[in-house]
Amino acid sequence: MHIDLPTVIALGWIQTLAMGVLLWMVMGAFAGTARRSLRVWIVSLLLQAAAWIVTPFAAGHPEYPPFGAVVNAMLVSAFGLGAYALRMLTGAPARQWRMLALGAAVVAGIVWFQIVQPDYAARVYVFCTGIAAFALTVLWPLRGAWLRHGHLAYRVTMLVMLAVVGIEVWRLVELALAERPPVSMFQARAADLAHLVLMSLQPALASAAFLLLYYETAHAELRRLARVDPLTGVNNRRALAEHAARLIAAAQRDGRPFSALMVDADHFKRVNDRYGHGVGDAALCALVARMQRTLRASDLIGRTGGEEFVILLPTTGVAEAREVAERVRETVAMAPLRADGSEVALTLSIGVAVYRTGDADLDALLQRADTALYAAKHAGRNRVVAIGDAPAADTHAGNPAARAGAAADGAPLNAAAGSDRPVSG
């Protein structure tokens, strides 16, 4: 196959420039880190396009080495900027000084072997090593991100970068093994041609990978946001319902029990009234952190209302769930929460319900947990009430602890924690 070098160069120039302009036009649709990394990516494309413009002059005037030095320095810098932009987009540490040092070393090497002490082979070694090194700086974070998220875009971008490393290494090997070292890349050996074709295709391929990467990460972030409570960062009701659906399926399949705790902060209105809404918000975050410390990694916590949380306890029957609830209650009541510079004493009322065959979804289970919570509130707050298989009405009727608790209703915010015994289950 005959590859016409001027055509390759012209195509490379046109598509790099077109891609740069196109991305510039759609930059408004990007935000935050993605926008910053896209800006760097566009600069990298435009620098590459400019390098393609100077390339024919370098090829036509080998007797004037600065042309060649400028082209190579621009191409390496453009590639380095592209790698930097990709690192930003994958969330890898920017390491701008290391990237800058690598770029400066490669450019210095190119200038040295092109102008000061002309040596084609040494220049190619420096250039190829620089490009491959930049590709490697992206490959590692891409691999990490791929292992974490498994998105297709990471694999596509990794493939493009692997192709870059492969072709540059091929060029190096071909040059090292050549009997008569070439004096110019325009002698068009196979690896040089592959390198030129790659250089002309890479902007389009890598830009497609860049966009794919952006849309997949943005999509994943949107999915995450749709399942997370914005204040506390725990699951929202939708995410809890999804988790619960899996637990219900497991319970129906293998008979594995699971329980739900409905947790409500007592007299939270007083926290807001006394300390302000900001401290109230911080107290809710501190409350979540405190509760999480008492739970297993497999337990799931979610926020279902202002100061109301649900905790799902997989493979947990009612007796054990009650113990967990009691531990959560005690841990919170034990010491005030640190919230935005204030110490906020909080107590919790917790309703416990265990999954029953026939519960179609989380709501069915939560209805019972809510009834138990209502009973706990009525019994005086700062207590745990569990509903096992007995009807809800039985859970606090005639219970001495509940009646004693009810007498404590309306206690001041910092009142000592009341005690509680389970009433049913």
Ligand X SMILES: Nc1nc2c(ncn2[C@@H]2O[C@H](COP(=O)(O)OP(=O)(O)OP(=O)(O)O)[C@@H](O)[C@H]2O)c(=O)[nH]1
Give me the residues that bind ligand X (CB under 6 A), please: 231, 264-269, 272, 277, 280-281, 284, 306-307, 377, 381
d(CA 297, CA 194): 51
CB of residue 277 to ligand X, shortest distance in Å = 5
Nearer to ligand X, 106 or 279 (CB): 279
155 touches 146 (CB < 8 A): yes
CB of residue 323 to ligand X, shortest distance in Å = 23
CB of residue 381 to ligand X, shortest distance in Å = 6
Nearer to ligand X, 55 or 304 (CB): 304
d(CA 379, CA 351): 12
CB of residue 290 to ligand X, shortest distance in Å = 16
CB of residue 275 to ligand X, shortest distance in Å = 9
Per-residue DSSP letters for 245-288? Answer: HHHHHHHHHH---EEEEEEEETTHHHHHHHH-HHHHHHHHHHHH
- Classify 381 in phi/psi space as left (phi over 0), alpha (psi -120 to 50) or beta: left
The CA-based dihedral angle spanning residues 220, 226, 230, 235, taken in that order and rounded to the nearest 10 degrees: -100
Buried b (16+ CB within 10 A) or exposed e, 227-258: bbbeebebbbbebbbebbeebbebbeeeeebb
Nearer to ligand X, 281 or 330 (CB): 281
CB of residue 338 to ligand X, shortest distance in Å = 15
CB of residue 36 to ligand X, shortest distance in Å = 31
CB of residue 411 to ligand X, shortest distance in Å = 11
Residues 6 or more apart from 13 whose CB is under 8 A from it? Answer: 49, 52, 53, 55
Nearer to ligand X, 159 or 231 (CB): 231
264 touches 306 (CB < 8 A): no
Nearer to ligand X, 191 or 375 (CB): 375
Nearer to ligand X, 173 or 231 (CB): 231
Buried b (16+ CB within 10 A) or exposed e, 280-293: bbbbbbbbbebbee
User: What tokens were used for 377?
Assistant: 């509130």
220 touches 151 (CB < 8 A): yes
Nearer to ligand X, 307 or 420 (CB): 307
CB of residue 283 to ligand X, shortest distance in Å = 7
Nearer to ligand X, 130 or 280 (CB): 280
Residue nearest to ligand X (CB): 306
- Classify 366 in phi/psi space as left (phi over 0), alpha (psi -120 to 50) or beta: alpha
Q: How far apart are the first and last CA of the chain?
A: 80
d(CA 26, CA 30): 8
Nearer to ligand X, 329 or 377 (CB): 377
